[in-house]
Structure 1
């Protein structure tokens, strides 16, 4: 298949590109910067890269300013929001101009669309919606991406949980105190962390592309979510470090501001749609995922 990836140089994009190449697919990476090679195409610069994208069978949109970059100042929140809206609008503009539109679009989303709760469990059929910045951003993002359905394109909304990787994302920040022998429970420890190994994210995106019955919201999270206290203990055990020094909520709120919700809040999310369509997680448990990532 010929597959276009917007945001292909980020954490998920790199893993997905590597997997697709292994499987023999042709990948076209859309980038804001100067193209590095013939497989990189510049976009979001006022032009439509139609010639290079003709014949694509799938479009994966992962573009957007990272939630982990800097404090959530008013300026940063605007960048997070508008980068997602702009990239999705451009994706829609491109597919309407292609002589043959792609069969499927996989648009990134996040489990942050669900309200923070220590008691609720959310599947794709859950209708509850968070009313904070992240929840509203994700809801608007999904609404815009869903316009592709009006064009007759199967549309998958990939609601990512916390993606685990040793080079980027939340895990290096969570693991750092343990590596310094000062790791411990973050906040109350009761908050849920719905996580997924980065390689399972890539595999699940390909599964969504290849499974015609999959569409709409899809939870990209491992089948066994963890509470933060348990998550931290597992990190400590895998790294052979103690779990002893708690990090109080107020300290994180002072250090991170509104962004502290990413570790002090949480949702218990279940991947019902992936499981129902035969997807098998390579790393279904946190212990397996961390041992693979840290090769221990």
Structure 2
């Protein structure tokens, strides 16, 4: 298995890893936590075959993008909204389809509220919204202190987050072992472990979505689709219904036997749902 980012761009002074695949109408895909653009690897080829150009990237502080040493660098949802804007300029994209998962959905919601006229469609998959995060389990872990967590023994850290990642699937036994190892490796080791807490966990703050939640109704003129795993325990289906109610005219598609990492666990169904929606709104 290979990563689908193979280029770099300097965005706001930071190195961002990205990839562009295929030709046709542009689709920008934004991943979440604790993952990377790798989660789209089985979705992107299906978009390309269908005649779309897929733009993927790793958020600042994630995956193969820069992990800033300076803790003052903003790698939050809001900070990565600025990264997305910078990449759109780099890619010379005026309008495009936007697809987002998890924390990436927070980035997408902020971008949409601030620039809905640029979106041809918006698809959000098991995303954070309102104050749906962090989960009680994550809050309990964060209470130990991020410095403590960042310095835990490597084997203890890896074991904990391997089990944590397994909970993203409706059937943990179905999680591809090689893929699971890649996700664990990205957030472990001398760079990955402290970076996870500095650049990801430290920013699990709902202020970024609450700040624009009362403006979600303005997306009523934008074609919006929600895709949700029926068995998502990280962002339960109740949040999907609340988000759908907040966005007039939005559609909700629920995938059965699917957990939080829908693009990883059910890439065929996720790609089909994305494409079905894009075909309805093709230019």
**TM-score bracket relative to the smaller structure:** 0.3 to 0.5
Using the size of structure 1 for normalisation, the TM-score is 0.34
Q: TM-score scaled by structure 2?
A: 0.35
Q: Rg: which structure is higher?
A: 1
